[in-house]
Amino acid sequence: MAFLVNVFMINELYSQEFADTHQKGEESEDNKLFEWEDEMSLKGEIMEVDVERDAEYIICGDKGEGNPFEVSIPKMCIFNFIKEDNSLIQIACSESLYEEHELIINDKILTLFLKGEPYANPIPGIYIASREFPKELMPSVRD
């Protein structure tokens, strides 16, 4: 059975008072509780989940033409999913984006709530506050 990860971006403009008054307590098209939702299914047998707060996340890849990079991003909340073969899957967000999470190991579900502020999502499952995104990974801006 796969581990299900749901990530929700909270709509900072949502009004429960408006919903109670005009929509019988329910959200509406003009008053949504969440801006968006991501759903991911982590394949393989997850043996352990470790949560690290205020941790350093290492993002690595290739800028093209054999130009690899590895950049450290501080102040991240990282969910480490350790598989049966000891391989690792990471879901991470900037601490400044983190609102709360619910981890239900027996049901294999992680629900993560993020604050509604600008962010980058360079890799599925990785959410970095725009103001904390590494400058060295931003494309050059020309006049």
What does the pLDDT average to over 10-25?
Answer: 67
10 burial (CB, 10 Å; 0-12 / 13-18 / 19+) is: middle
**Residues, the chain, total?**
143
Query: 15 pLDDT band (50/70/90 cuts)?
Result: low
Give per-residue burial for 38-66: e unless 16+ CB within 10 Å, then b: bebebeeebeebeeeeeeebebeeeeeee
Per-residue DSSP letter, 119: E
Instruction: Encode pLDDT of 122-133 as tens digits.
Output: 999 999 999 999
In the predicted model, is pLDDT for residue 33 greater than 80?
Answer: no
Residues 43, 47, 53, 59: what is their CA dihedral angle, to the nearest 10 degrees? Answer: -40
Distance of CA 9 to the CA centre of its chain: 9
Q: What is the pLDDT of residue 94?
A: 98
In the predicted model, is pLDDT for residue 13 greater than 70?
Answer: no
pTM for this one? 0.85
In the predicted model, is pLDDT for residue 141 greater than 50?
Answer: no
What does the pLDDT average to over 59-77?
Answer: 90
Domain ranges of the chain: 3-13+32-136
Phi and psi at 96, nearest 5°, equal: -70, -20
For 73, the 3-state DSSP assignment is: strand
